[in-house]
């Protein structure tokens, strides 16, 4: 299908242009996000002080905001960098980690939606449901929500916020205006490594740094991570577990070829509405 | 011996229940702690802002406080989350990294002991000696103290604070009330990787998230780490060093079977007092 | 050549003495810096709170200041620890990550040069040019500058600040007073992993912790990292990429022998001036 070719092309563009991806993110998975950004071919910068984020984001091709380890210092930085990016036409990718788990997270996410108006939101089903105003089970930062009705929720939230909404899970769902797609790549082991969601968000940032089609950028990031999970899992031998799996994720992304995306990508797209 | 069966059973319970383990920890080894928590089968959350820690810990099955990179912001969060956990009956595992090295660390540890009253304390010999009020050589955050009289020190401190005290070193010692045990698993390479102490503390948190017998939980966490060190070391081939060793620690924990614990665990327990 | 023997000897001293290396560094690569410090045989401590850095640095054999993720809290800590180290004769290694990218970074670097007067500065060509007051292209934290005239710039800045200046790139250049050397080890894959620059700076700190010849210490750290890159690259098999490469860097440093340095080190030294 057509979107796969677009993704494969964007991978090539990305490796040629090496877009700078500014992250304001958490201290748990920040190293993984930087290395994943490098693995796919882009260039990471992780500045988060209020005294420099507006200057830094001005150089960037995309801004990733991830609220994995929120604190008051970086919330202000996220808002300032986000507003600046938005004004400059730089895409903002938002990962609302653990929204709903605490008041601080819920309020911060609301402030980012309102003041930054992100270009792409990527979350698990619990997080997206929460943003959509639905009741959901929250337990820490991992998803405990059922995956039914994901497309309706994603499409509804996308329409409400006029941004790309991506839900990752067993089957990933991406919605924007009258477009919707499903991705069936990935492997359950991805949930056994911390930060694979964050890394998917970073990859979305990398792709959105080279295309104006953010729906496609979101699909590209999630597909790349899903394929990496499959490659990593297949490579495991007896006695190897999540340590080796995690290392192989970076191997898989850094050696991924456009042809592989075309051959193994499982995207199923539909037009919705009119 | 009986405690080994209890540990093997707890590993199964842990993988079934996937307890949420809230960490307020350092930014050096936080990613390793999160991945080790996942590797054993639990679920990590690392929130540390004063604005959300009390809410977050209410969901958790255990709270890990690690003062590896102390700062004033997180000290308050540790105290607030710790008090809340204590009140709610959630076990608090305390890792007094580098206590004695600076006044800030010594005072923070004292405040945590006084205000939080942890359920389990795990440290190296230098750290535990310091907490016990003994003179010791402190040099940075690694232990330089002799390992003599560990059982007397551990038992004394345990009695004084009425909590489980675990000293890790060549031979690990765990004391609580009239129970004491030694663990002879592990490998010197564990000291060549940063954060193996922190990861052992996280594993204690994971096990204490599924058992009320915190003495056994402490032994389980330390034993799991020790066995992982042995498995990782045995797997190394020519040219492989601490990079590969570190990856294999996660492999070993994520693939560890209860039978392996029963077969390879070297715990020697004794009753003390009456 | 003679400096190679000196480096090989220092590696042995380092593993014997296990010097404590105090870092105030960024949260992106801090774990890698700690593990690289351990891999070469030294002992890391990463304390950064203003309430303890002066006490902590007093135990240290070297202090590493890295401004990868600057914030106002740690800038003060860097200045306080740096001044204290300088007064106590403890070498200070400074990594001016991203200087020139933002006003905050440029001003912080200036303050460190003025108030701390580092013993060694290690940066990429963009960063060193910026410190030398030359115009350069800055894009985030990775170097985009041409590598011409590196020796003139390094020697000039070294003379101006009376400290060792090291520029890492395809060919590394180290200058101090009337000494200059080139290192031709390394591999382009090193630029595909975040933190290899930071890790080189940490390795310089480790070597400077056992020698008063900081020119040699700087060369030793950079050479060790370059050789590790070559070993790691040679070890890769089909399907392995930057994930495995990164793991092998730690393997290579932890298993590096003095004989290997003597055999594979490519240092070309010259006397300059009179």
CA–CA dist C207, C211 (Å, integer): 7
**Which among C69, C138, C243 has CB closest to A250?**
C243
- B268 close contact with A: CB closer than 8 A: no
Q: Spell out the domains of chain A, with CATH numbers in brackets.
A: 2-267 (3.40.1190.20)
- pLDDT of A272 reads 64
- B244 close contact with A: CB closer than 8 A: no
Q: Confidence band (pLDDT; 50, 70, 90) for C143?
A: low
Q: Confidence band (pLDDT; 50, 70, 90) for B130?
A: very high
Percent of chain A whose predicted confidence (pLDDT) is above 70: 93
Question: DSSP character for C194?
Answer: T
> What is the separation of C-alpha C100 from the centre of its chain, rounded to a whole number of angstroms?
19
Q: Confidence band (pLDDT; 50, 70, 90) for A127?
A: very high
Percent of chain B whose predicted confidence (pLDDT) is above 70: 93
CA–CA dist C235, C215 (Å, integer): 31
What is the rounded average pLDDT of the residues C204-215?
A: 98
- A100 close contact with B: CB closer than 8 A: no
Q: Is the pLDDT of residue A270 over 80?
A: no
Closest-CA residue in chain C for A53? C102
3-state secondary structure A33-69: HHHHHHHHCCEEECCCCCCCHHHHHCCCCEEEEECCC
The distance between the two most distant Cα atoms of chain A, rounded to a whole number of Å, is: 52
Phi, psi dihedral angles at A170 (to 5 degrees): -55, -50
CA dist C42 → B67, B97, B192, C67 (Å) = 21, 18, 10, 22
- pLDDT of A274 reads 46
CB–CB contacts below 8 A, B to C: 108
Q: Is the pLDDT of residue A248 over 70?
A: yes
CA–CA dist C243, C224 (Å, integer): 20
Give the closest-approach CA distance of B226 to chain C in angstroms.
19
In terms of Cα–Cα distance, which of C55, C40, C271 is closest to C178?
Answer: C271
Q: Report the DSSP pairing between strands B267-271 and C172-176.
A: unpaired
Q: How many helices (H) and strands (E) does chain C have?
A: 11, 11
Give the closest-approach CA distance of B148 to chain A in angstroms.
35
Decide: A101 and B55 in contact? Cβ < 8 Å: yes
CA–CA dist C164, C174 (Å, integer): 7
Q: Confidence band (pLDDT; 50, 70, 90) for C273?
A: low
Closest-CA residue in chain A for C241? A251
- pLDDT of C184 reads 98
Q: Is C78 annotated as a binding residue?
A: no
Give the closest-approach CA distance of C165 to chain B in angstroms.
28
Decide: C56 and B209 in contact? Cβ < 8 Å: no
**Which among A47, A246, A254 has CB closest to C242?**
A254
Q: Which residues, other chains included, contact A250 with Cβ-Cβ below 8 Å and sequence gap of 6+?
A: A35, A36, A39, C241, C242, C243, C244, C246
ipTM of the complex: 0.95
In terms of Cα–Cα distance, which of C149, C144, C163, C182 is closest to C270?
Answer: C182
CA–CA dist C83, C77 (Å, integer): 10
CA–CA dist A15, A10 (Å, integer): 9
B196 contacts on C by Cβ (under 8 Å): none
């Amino acid at each position: 299908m057509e979107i796969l070719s677009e993704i494969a092309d964007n991978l090539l563009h990305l490796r040629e242009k090496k877009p700078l991806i500014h992250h304001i993110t958490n201290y748990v998975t920040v190293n993984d996000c930087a290395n994943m950004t490098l693995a796919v071919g882009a260039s990471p910068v992780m500045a988060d002080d209020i005294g420099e984020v507006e200057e830094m984001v001005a150089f960037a091709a995309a801004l990733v905001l991830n609220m994995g380890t929120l604190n008051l210092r970086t919330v202000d930085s996220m808002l300032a960098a986000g507003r600046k990016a938005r004004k400059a036409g730089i895409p903002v990718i938002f990962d609302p980690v653990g929204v709903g788990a605490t008041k601080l997270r819920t309020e911060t996410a609301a402030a980012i939606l309102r003041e930054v108006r992100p270009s792409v939101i990527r979350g698990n089903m619990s997080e997206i449901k929460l943003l959509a105003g639905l009741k959901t089970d929250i337990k820490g930062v991992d998803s405990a929500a059922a995956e039914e009705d994901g497309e309706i929720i994603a499409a509804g939230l996308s329409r409400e916020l006029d941004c790309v909404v991506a839900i990752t899970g067993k089957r990933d769902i991406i919605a924007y205006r009258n477009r919707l797609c499903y991705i069936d790549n990935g492997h359950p082991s991805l949930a056994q490594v911390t930060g694979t969601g964050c890394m998917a968000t970073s990859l979305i940032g990398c792709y959105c740094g080279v295309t104006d089609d953010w729906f496609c950028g979101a699909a590209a990031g999630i597909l790349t991570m899903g394929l990496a999970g499959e490659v990593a899992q297949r490579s495991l031998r007896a006695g190897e577990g999540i340590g080796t799996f995690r290392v192989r994720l970076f191997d898989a992304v850094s050696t991924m070829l456009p042809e592989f995306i075309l051959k193994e990508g499982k995207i199923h797209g539909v037009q919705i509405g009119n």
